[in-house]
Structure 1
Amino acid sequence: MILPIVAYGHPVLRKVARDIDNSYPDLDKLIADMWETMYGSNGVGLAAPQINRDIRLFVVDSAQIFEHMDEEERKEEDYPDAPGVKQVFINAHIVEEAGDDWAYNEGCLSIPKIREDVYRAEEVTLRYMDEQFNEHEQTFSGITARVILHEYDHIDGKLFIDHLTPLKRKLMKRKLDDITKGNIRVDYKMLFPK
């Protein structure tokens, strides 16, 4: 089932999410709904706060980024994380960020029609659980690390615009206010703040 995406301004997006255990109700269905919602809105990642759940859960499919790259893009740059991952992350916590910060143009399903260059670390090491609650510690790099860090921000109550300069945020204030008020049209369901 495709769930509505929570829009900028909703308080759940600013809440630090809580860890869960395997007794969380209907977790398998929730994860399946998150995949369906993410693909239905053309996303490459989706965090539980974006569907109005304050839990440390997100899904990432960076593999589709590489699948949709043309040959020219592949030749231009070395992608250490190719072919990407399709993974569920539960109770994720960052162990370490490493490498140089690099810029990449990011957007967010909760903040539609706004894109900006954001600097993030080249690598992130995460401790997390998969959907069977097996614990992992794994290092991710490149575009995959970026998508993970973006979704990780969501479970920590942060948004990609928090990485921008105060001036850039001030310049986009009207657009952000429009999103909060529901004055935006997208081709997926959204849940606006009341």
Structure 2
Amino acid sequence: MDKSMIKGMAVGGLAMVVLGAGAVSGYRTLAQPPQADVVAVKEVMKTVSTPQVRCENVQVSQQAPVKDPNRVAGTVVGGVAGGLLGSTIGRGDGNTLATVAGAVAGGYAGNQVQKNMQQKDVVTRTEQRCKTVQLKSQQLAGYDVRYRFNGQEATVRTNFKPGDTLPVKDGQVVLTPVPDARS
């Protein structure tokens, strides 16, 4: 055997090793499953708060507007009544004194009676009162998907509910829904 033949066999053998390694690597790539197996799917919920205005009718009572804030009518009526009553009591100079005292006492009493009546004079009306309340509700936020690919488990969140498998492209799990072939 000459040297060139030995060199040729060595180069050829080396080429076979390189090609064989590439073929094994290519086979592994082709042998990879085109999908990842879904192990578990869990719905993820989020709480959503929505404002809403709620109104209700409420009975409101308040003191009626006073037409005679100085209570002149009660004072005058009480004074006249007290003066008439006092004039029936006394005789002579005592009559005048009793009339004046009756008028003063009657005026004060009439003033106080009118004051009490005004304080108890109440007006009731209906008012609408509104307030904003927050309504809470649960909404689907997505799915936590546990999957197995190349002997390893991992978890991802998707916005769709997957089936039994997830598609794989270039060794990565695809996180977009696959169109349904039936539709």
TM range (shorter): under 0.3
Higher-RCO chain (CA-CA 8 Å, sequence separation at least 6): 2
TM-score by length of 1: 0.14
Higher strand share: 2
**Larger Rg over CA atoms:** 2
Instruction: Calculate the TM-score normalised by the size of structure 2.
Output: 0.14
Which has more helix, going by share of residues? 2
